[in-house]
Structure 1
Amino acid sequence: MHPVLLSLIVSVGINAVFFAYAALRRTDVVTDLSYSLSFASVALLLAALQGATDLFRLLAAVMVILWALRLGSYLLGRILSIKVDHRFDGMRDKPLKFASFWILQALTVVIVLAPVSVVLGGAGSATLPGLSVAGLVLWAIGMAIESLADAQKSAFKKAGTPGFIRSGLWAWSRHPNYFGETLVWAGMYLYCLPMLGSAAIPSLASPLGITALLLFVSGIPLLEKAADKKFGGQAAYEAYKSSTSIFVPLPPKGTES
């Protein structure tokens, strides 16, 4: 079986089970958990089925699993604290609309994980070429940025500080965690590229897809809309919004030397 097809079966299966639970219980607690679990499960299964023992494939699997564990634990802790994910307001009582989110989530896992699936499902041993080392470094930078941004926002929330976060990485970007995530998957693509062969071009859907999703679909647009609704019209928020990059961390306007 082609590894991407196996990835599709596993991802759809996991998300179908969690969707059924979420729909029946009308809960948001398991949504992000299923997302992270799908990535980790596919990577583990493909590595186990192929008997991946060479450093190249082991590192590919470990990179995915570490990212999934870190993100999954963070998101689970957050939803257990806030209880409700307002992305799903107006969807929980509409099964077809609610299901469409889960279908998109399952397909996102397959597309984003495609280069890793191809590598883990391949035959033969592999070395660690220079391009893969560069990809590993980029992945590590992305992980560091995403993790630090999430930690800073979590600390801000726990402190009970009123308003919105605008310190740390958030002083340079309104969504630094999403920027970090795009670097993670760009790094994964570069890491896998030497072993992708004819799948190299189709696998570009991974870094390009996750970037497009976060920039234009389910990431930044929803959060910007929510922030505008909550803080719009406040002088501090409008100043922050006009002076701070929406995505790529850059010095705030007016502070460059």
Structure 2
Amino acid sequence: MYWDILLIICIVCAVLCAVGFYKYVYFLSIGYGFAIAGGGLTVLIIALKNGWAEGVTFLLILQALLFLAYGARLSGFLLVREIKNAAYRKTLKEATGNDKKIPVFVSISIWVCVAILYTAQVSPMLFRYANGSKDIVLPIIGIIISACGLCLESLADKQKSEQKKIDPNMVATKGLYKMVRCPNYLGEIIFWTGVFVSGITTYTGIGQWLMAVIAYICIIYIMFNGAQRLEKRQMARYGNDKAYNAYADKTPIIIPFLPIYHLNKK
């Protein structure tokens, strides 16, 4: 299972997501991006140092760059949005109640749990090179899937920002938002689907499979839970708006063509 290497990655993730002690929501947002980027770079350094990627170094570098791009984009986008957008800061404060102090032991518990989760999320990359796998077809397919997910997330955030500038009092409904109401969450699921797929041919033993599968399931759960909480906030704000209800009642919430339109409608 390479517990010693996983511990190193976990420590790196913990250090980088410790920004959550400033605002606990950062454990799951800005610190998340930092941790994923740092975890990927840590695997890159360790794999190169140990000579694990001989013959497939280009794959190792591509995957590391993908994690770096993912983390930098996510944390950068969230930082800029929070700094520049007063309306978003107000919404974030209302949604998380982050003016309230939470007990230190709760913060520490969240910190430890997310550091472990982020380590599990990047573990498919570690297992591929530590196990000495040399196949390239499935890893390349996984990388392409992840790149598509990253592009989808990026475009969704860009379109949402542009539409909010035009009409800040309405949810985004154009572009990718015609396909699903949470295309950024869909992009997140696609990104981590690619990461999981990239390691399928290399997982050895029940421990590696469990870590990879549990991390993937957690991400899907987190995305659907996030969509549920978002819908609850939107219903509270736009529930009496006919245009919003017409849009929400005909647009799937996360998965295209899957007729799941509401997760929390009241």
Relative to the length of structure 1, the TM-score reads: 0.83
What is the RMSD computed on CA atoms of the aligned residues? 2.7
Q: How many residues align?
A: 244
Q: 1:223 aligns with which of 213, 225, 230?
A: 230
Unaligned segments of structure 1, at least 5 residues: none
1:164 aligns with 171
Structure 2 residue aligned with 1:89: 97
> Matched residues in 2 for 1:104 and 1:166: separation?
35
- The structure 1 residue matched to 2:71, chosen from 68, 73, 81, is 68
**Judging changes above 3 Å, is the alpha-carbon distance between structure 1 residues 131 and 31 closer, same or farther for their aligned structure 2 residues?**
closer
1:38 is matched with 35
User: CA distance change for structure 1 residues 14 and 161 in 2, over 3 Å: closer, same or farther?
Assistant: closer
CA distance in 2, matches of 1:239, 1:79: 30
Q: Distance in 2 between matches of 1:76 and 1:127?
A: 38
Q: Deviation of residue 90 (structure 1)?
A: 5.5
Residue 58 of structure 2: aligned partner? 55
Equivalent residue, structure 2, for 1:152: 159
Q: CA deviation at 1:145?
A: 1.4
Structure 1 residue 116: Cα displacement = 2.1
Distance (Å, rounded) in 2 between the aligned partners of 1:32 and 1:169? 22
The answer as to whether partners of 1:3 and 1:118 remain within 8 angstroms in 2 is no
Identity %: 24
CA, structure 1 residues 138+170, in 2 after alignment: closer, same or farther (shift >3 Å)? same
Q: Report the CA distance shift for 1:175/1:2 in structure 2 as closer, same or farther (over 3 A).
A: same
CA distance in 2, matches of 1:158, 1:101: 34
Q: 2:120 touches 2:211 (CA, 8 Å); kept in 1?
A: no
Quick check: 81-90 or 4-13, which moved more? 81-90
Q: Name the TM-score, length of structure 2 as normaliser.
A: 0.80
Counterpart residue type for residue 37 of structure 1: F
| Counterpart-to-counterpart distance in 1, 2:83 and 2:27 | 10
Q: How does 1:170-249 map to 2 (within 5 A)?
A: 170-198=177-205, 199-216=208-225, 219-249=226-256
Residue identity matched to 1:95: P
- Counterpart Cα distance in 2 of 1:82 and 1:30: 20
* Cα distance in 2 between the residues matched to 1:40 and 1:234: 40
- 1:29–1:101 distance in 2 versus 1, CA, 3 Å: closer
1:250 is paired with a residue whose SS is: coil
Match of 1:3 in 2: 5
